[in-house]
């Protein structure tokens, strides 16, 4: 399977903050602990081993065993769960929403990055165990963000009235999505496997959390992935001292706002609330607001005094849910975690949190940008070669790519930069003469210069347009190929579902991705399936 790659920075699809992080710009040094290199993990292991509250391991293993009790679990996953009791076991974690049928491709890349990093760490540090964790974002309430997936450009949407945390939703109603999707994918051997997987995950009356756990376990269980649902009373109980601190002192808000000031030259990913917690009960998940020494639950009549809310926390820790600011802390308290693997947006908001972690004296994990990939068929790769293009070319904006290509294939130079430079040199000479003779001529010289430069630019545009017409067929083939690989002008990994590739390549899709994706390379992989 041929493979190529470009750097994330050269892809044009990552924001300035992420590019600067990858370039290890000095102005960001104070916003993270250690950069993700294999060498830095030795220090991270030592620090985490010394700082982690190992009493949490017992609750963690117990919760995981309970969550897996009705699931066909691979031996390697069972061993990974049991190993979490050991002081020599650490985790590498990724997290994601409960997208229907895995959602876009990058969900797979997150998990594969996590699995592969644990393998690399085991080779480097054989005395320790490393467990890949997928933390399910079961407590999110943004149903509209997860209620669809895309197959060959068509959206398959689950229409459902909802409230509260998405993980608790019944999968009732997904049978309609299944029926439409089944007709779309046909009856081949791989199509039937996809149908079976979808049916078993979503049509058995599970909650969305249970369905997602089943699906992801089917795809990645044999690689030892451990799937964790943080919506757990026992885990929340371990976290409750930090929830109490947040209720009483609002340290996260103060610390993150200070960090945001350091990031003011970048786009801010998330802004903190005064209290970064939700109150969650049954189908309710609403913000906790402190007003006049009373804790009010937004959009309800529920309220607590300080004494009452602390009593509620003690008796019902499961009713308190961390938001996007507090969830990373929850994760790092519960897990003996070394590294968080996420997308550009996630890494951006994690960088806002370092001072908060320092404030509450919790070790900050190494932050690693997940793998990205562009998947192509052998036919598409042959087209690329025939057109004389590189993978890097396809990452260009379409107009830029076409203009550059026309200039390359034109029988004569379209770029008149040399002529413009010569013209400028001539007018610089005339300006020198004007200064020495009659300075009133300078304005006339400048006006004439601007006119002639503009004339050359217009000629350049006309030449480019004429050559585009002449090479219409070739340019159309280029645009068609780019549109295939960058659907709707965006990254394939954000649009396409894994089933598109599974339909043609079956189980080899994940196997080949695991073989090819290297989490510490910081490169956008271009992979050809044959």
Backbone angles phi, psi at 148, to 5 degrees: -155, 160
Tokens of 215: 């699906």
For residue 432, the model assigns a pLDDT of 82
Closest CA relative to residue 113, chosen from 89, 128, 135, 133? 133
Tokens of 42: 């030795």
pLDDT digits (tens, 9 = 90+) for 282-308: 889 999 999 999 999 999 999 999 999
Q: What are the beta bridge partners of residue 280? A: 285
Q: Is the pTM of this model over 0.85?
A: yes
Query: What are the pLDDT tens digits along the chain (530 aa)?
Result: 345 779 999 999 999 999 999 999 999 999 999 999 999 999 999 999 999 999 999 999 999 999 999 999 999 999 999 999 999 999 999 999 999 999 999 999 999 999 999 999 999 999 999 999 999 999 998 899 999 999 999 999 999 888 889 999 999 889 999 999 999 999 999 999 999 999 999 998 899 999 999 999 999 999 999 999 999 999 999 999 999 999 999 999 999 999 999 999 999 999 999 999 999 998 899 999 999 999 999 999 999 999 999 999 999 999 999 999 999 999 999 999 999 999 999 999 999 999 999 999 999 999 999 999 999 999 999 999 999 999 999 999 999 998 888 777 666 566 656 766 777 777 777 778 877 777 777 877 788 778 877 777 676 667 666 666 766 888 899 999 999 999 999 999 999 999 999 999 999 999 999 999 999 998 999 999 98
**CB of 529 closer than 8 Å to CB of 375:** yes
For residue 416, the model assigns a pLDDT of 59
Distance of CA 222 to CAs 65, 101, 216, 332, Å?
17, 19, 11, 25
d(CA 498, CA 218): 14
Distance of CA 205 to CAs 142, 143, 210, 457, Å?
21, 18, 9, 66
d(CA 117, CA 225): 12
Q: What are the beta bridge partners of residue 369? A: 342
Closest CA relative to residue 110, chosen from 123, 98, 93? 93
- Specify the pairing of strand 294-297 against strand 303-304: antiparallel
d(CA 376, CA 217): 26
């Amino acid at each position: 399977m041929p493979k190529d790659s470009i750097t994330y920075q050269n892809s044009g699809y990552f924001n300035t903050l992420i590019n600067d992080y990858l370039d290890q710009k000095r102005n960001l040094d104070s916003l993270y602990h250690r950069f993700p290199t294999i060498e830095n993990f030795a220090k991270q292991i030592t620090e985490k081993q010394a700082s982690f509250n190992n009493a949490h391991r017992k609750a963690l293993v117990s919760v995981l065993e309970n969550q897996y009790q009705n699931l066909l679990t691979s031996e390697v996953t069972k061993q990974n769960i049991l190993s979490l009791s050991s002081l020599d076991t650490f985790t590498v974690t990724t997290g994601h929403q409960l997208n229907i049928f895995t959602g876009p491709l990058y969900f797979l890349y997150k998990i594969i990055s996590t699995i592969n990093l644990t393998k690399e760490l085991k080779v480097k540090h054989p005395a320790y165990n490393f467990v890949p964790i997928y933390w399910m974002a079961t407590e999110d309430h943004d149903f509209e963000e997860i209620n669809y997936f895309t197959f060959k450009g068509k959206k398959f949407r689950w229409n459902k009235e909802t409230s509260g945390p998405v993980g608790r939703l019944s999968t009732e109603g997904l049978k309609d999505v299944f029926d439409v999707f089944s007709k779309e994918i046909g009856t081949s051997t791989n199509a039937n496997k996809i149908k079976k997987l979808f049916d078993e995950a979503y049509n058995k009356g599970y909650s969305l959390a249970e369905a997602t756990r089943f699906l992801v376990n089917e795809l990645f269980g044999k690689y030892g992935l451990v799937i964790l649902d943080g919506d757990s009373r026992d885990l929340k109980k371990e976290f409750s001292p930090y929830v109490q601190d947040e209720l009483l002192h609002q340290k996260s808000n103060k610390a993150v706002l200070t960090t945001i000031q350091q990031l003011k030259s970048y786009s801010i990913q998330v802004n903190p609330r005064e209290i970064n917690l939700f109150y969650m009960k049954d189908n309710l998940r609403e913000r906790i607001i402190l007003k006049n020494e009373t804790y009010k639950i937004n959009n309800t009549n529920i309220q607590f005094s300080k004494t009452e809310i602390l009593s509620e926390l003690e008796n019902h820790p499961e009713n308190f849910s961390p938001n996007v600011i507090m969830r990373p802390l929850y994760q790092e308290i519960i897990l003996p975690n070394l590294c968080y693997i996420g997308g550009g947006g996630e890494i951006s908001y994690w960088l806002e949190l370092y001072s908060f972690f320092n404030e509450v004296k919790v070790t900050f994990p190494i932050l690693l940008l997940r793998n990205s990939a562009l998947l192509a068929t052998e036919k598409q790769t042959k087209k690329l070669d025939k057109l004389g293009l590189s993978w890097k070319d396809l990452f260009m904006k379409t107009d830029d790519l076409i203009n550059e290509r026309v200039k390359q294939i034109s029988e004569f130079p379209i770029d008149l930069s040399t002529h413009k430079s010569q013209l400028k040199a001539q007018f610089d000479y005339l300006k020198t003469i004007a200064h020495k003779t009659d300075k009133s001529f300078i304005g006339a010289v400048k006006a004439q210069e601007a006119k002639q430069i503009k004339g050359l630019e217009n000629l350049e545009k006309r030449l480019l347009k004429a050559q585009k017409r002449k090479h219409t067929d070739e340019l159309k083939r280029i645009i068609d190929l780019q549109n295939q690989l960058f659907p709707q002008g965006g990254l394939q990994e954000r649009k396409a579902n894994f089933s598109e590739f599974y339909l043609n390549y079956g189980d080899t899709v994940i196997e080949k991705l695991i073989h090819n994706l290297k989490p510490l390379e910081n490169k956008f992989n271009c992979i050809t399936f044959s």
